[in-house]
Each structure stands twice: as structure tokens, then as C-alpha cells.
Chain A
Amino acid sequence: MCGHREDAEEVAQETLLKVFENFDQIREPERVRPWVFRIAKNACLMKRRKSVFAPAVELSLDQLMPVRTNADGRVAIEIADWSALPDDLLLKAELRDTLATAIGELPEIYRAVLLLRDLEELSTQETAHILELTEDVVKTRLHRARLAVRQKLDQQLRSPHGATAGKSKQGG
């Protein structure tokens, strides 16, 4: 969430300090994990000193759809052949690097949701509480974040050196 390793280490330290200082306030043990994440989120925001009025970069569904418009004006779906990939895609270093880059390049408001929901596997409700968002906003941002990451992976797979080079699928 911090975007920079050095900031992340400082945020981790500040988070742990706050956790120790306020641990006795916790009444429900099952709430510890989302509580700690919320402290970390606030520490991260303070670190970046982002203004609450700073415009957030938005991802639109249109830019994330796997379609292209042909010369004749017809719209076609273009997607790599993901079925040809081995089960453990992470064994492929290039794909792994692409995944890391894709996540890192997400606009902050989408990256935060993806990290909490898909990497940390928190629930929609927990994520909404940590980020102080509604559940609907969490779901919307998660979907767009996933689509953006999928798009980057798909581009890698369709590239000349991608895992499924020459095996893209096209449909109307």
C-alpha cells in the first residue's frame, strides 16, 4: 500500500508500536487482524501525506474490457489462451514479475482493496471497515483492480515471448 519499501518498513514499525500501546482496547480477539490493518492503513496515509482532496485515478470498465474495434467497425473480443497454461502459473518467472508489476502499478485506491481482499484474503466487510468505505465501493474497486491485473497478464501472455505466444483467441 505504501508504494516504497523504505516507507513500508517505517509504517510497519509505527503500526506495531500503536498495536502495543492500544492492545488492551481490543475486546473481540477475532477483530485483531482487521484492527491492525486499519492502523497500518492510517499510518500509510500519514506517511504519504496525501490530501483528502487529491483526485484519485479512476479505472473505467470500458478501458478494461478485452475488446478491440476492427477496421470495418466490428467489435471483437481478444483474449490469450489461458487454458494452455500449467496449473501453477507462478512457476513462470516472467508471469510472476508481470503480476508484481501489475499490482504495483494499480492506482492506490484499487491496489489497497486488491491487497486486502485477494492477497490478505480479508472479507468484503472487513476490507470496508479498514478502508472506511461502503461494501459496494469495495466490490466495485476490487473488480476493476482484478480486471486491470488480468489485462496486464493477458498482454504478457499474448506477447511474442509470452507463455501462449501465437495462441490467442478471438471471438465476436
Chain B
Amino acid sequence: MFALLSDYLDLELPPEACQEIENHLAGCSPCVDFAESLRKTVELCRRYRPSELPSPLGTHAREELHAAYQKMLAARRA
């Protein structure tokens, strides 16, 4: 069951396996606590955003990207 918990939380288990896990959780509070801690971990990861924003690209990088973008537009107009 331990190996299948992520699939269970992601709703990617077939119904029978899902029911088996739920039957176990109904009678095992340590496993319920563990499943909840894993669920909160997943939620934290999904909400996590680095607090530090990436620095703007340097001048050379921006010029190179701009040139590539202009070249792409020109090719599409041709």
C-alpha cells in the first residue's frame, strides 16, 4: 500500500485497488496520518513558487533572442 499512495492521491488507481487502500485506512490511523502528510506535501509543492524572481536577461541575450524572433516572423511572412 505504501508504494501506491501517490497513485491513490492522484486518482490514478483502478477502483479495486483504491477500495483496498480505503478499507485499510478505515482501520489504521497511523496510515491515515501518513497519507495526509503526503497529501499536504504534494499540495505544498504545487503551491511553491521561488521567492526570488529570475534576473532579467543580459543585453547580449536579449539582442540574440530579439534577432531570432524577428527572423522567425520574417520566415512566416515569406
Contact = CB atoms under 8 A, between A and B. Distances in A.
A58 interface: no
Contact of A150 (B37, B57, B68): B37
Interface in A111-126: 114, 118-119, 121, 124
Interface of B is mostly: helix
B65 A20 contact: yes
B2 A119 contact: no
Interface stretch (A28-36, A37-45, A49-57, A140-148): A140-148
B41 interface: yes
Contact of A90 (B33, B47, B55, B57): B47
Interface residues of B, number: 36
A167 to B, nearest CB: 12
B26 interface: no
A114 B45 contact: yes
A165 interface: no
B75 to A, nearest CB: 7
17 contacts: A9-B55, A12-B57, A13-B61, A20-B68, A23-B72, A24-B72, A77-B34, A90-B48, A96-B51, A119-B45, A119-B46, A121-B46, A124-B12, A146-B41, A150-B37, A150-B38, A169-B33
Given A17-B68, A21-B72, A82-B33, 18 more contacts: A20-B65, A24-B75, A79-B37, A82-B36, A82-B40, A83-B36, A89-B40, A90-B47, A100-B50, A118-B42, A124-B10, A143-B5, A150-B37, A153-B37, A153-B41, A154-B37, A171-B33, A172-B30
